[in-house]
Amino acid sequence: MIVAVLLAATPAPLTATQAERQIRSQRAAFNRALATGNVRGIAPILADDAQMVTGADSMIVSGKAAQLALWTEDLSGPTRRFYVRKPLRIRVSAVGPMALETGEWRGFQMSARHNWSSGDYVAKWRRIGGTWKIESETYMSTACGGSFCPTRK
């Protein structure tokens, strides 16, 4: 009986194709949340201990709460920013419920589009309780304009 309960609570294994489709769906939901300034829509996609390294200045943002605070600042007010990620490849691990996404990103200030940046990113996903969540993201800026260009090189 205990074994039956444990098996019922364990998420069924996914094929790589199913996992990739679910991760792409989660990324699309993240992009929609960014586009609409919906920080609450970002929260369920981040792991509690999610880490982010920003693109231009390599600022390290540790934990879901810290990321949500940063997104709240970036996605509101007169300097509201818009970001989008475009996944180019998702590689699902054969040894655990994790995957690596690589792609391109772009961001700009809604009220002053000459302030912009873009580049490449890598995101590590993990399936937690049957849902794919972002564990870490690292961004690298490769182009920029206006105030989005780093002050240090």
Q: For residue range 10-62, what is the model confidence (pLDDT) as tens digits?
A: 556 789 999 999 999 999 999 999 999 999 999 999 999 999 999 988 999 99
pLDDT over 60 at 6, yes or no = no
φ, ψ of residue 138 to 5 degrees: the values are -130, 130
DSSP 11: P
Q: Domain segments of the chain: what residues?
A: 15-146
Cα–Cα distance, 149 to 151 (Å, whole number): 7
Decide if pLDDT at 106 tops 70.
yes
Query: What's 91's DSSP letter?
Result: E
Among 26, 32, 3, 34, smallest CA distance to 130 is for: 26
Residue 20: count of CB within 10 angstroms of its CB = 19
Check residue 56 and give its pLDDT. Answer: 87
Residues 48 and 135 sit within 8 Å (Cβ to Cβ): no
Give alpha helix (H) positions in 1-151: 2-9, 16-36, 39-42, 64-74
Tens of pLDDT, residue by residue over 22-31, are: 999 999 999 9
Which two structure tokens, joined as six digits, stand for 76?
């509101």
Contacts of 151 (CB under 8 A, 6+ apart): none
CATH of the structural domain 15-146, one choice from 3.20.20.100, 3.40.50.1000, 1.20.140.10, 3.10.450.50? 3.10.450.50
- Which residue is listed with tokens 């996992």? 19
b/e code 115-125 from CB counts within 10 Å (16+ = b): bbbbbebebbb
Give this prediction's pTM. 0.88
Alpha-carbon span 141 to 3, nearest angstrom: 49
For residue 5, the model assigns a pLDDT of 45
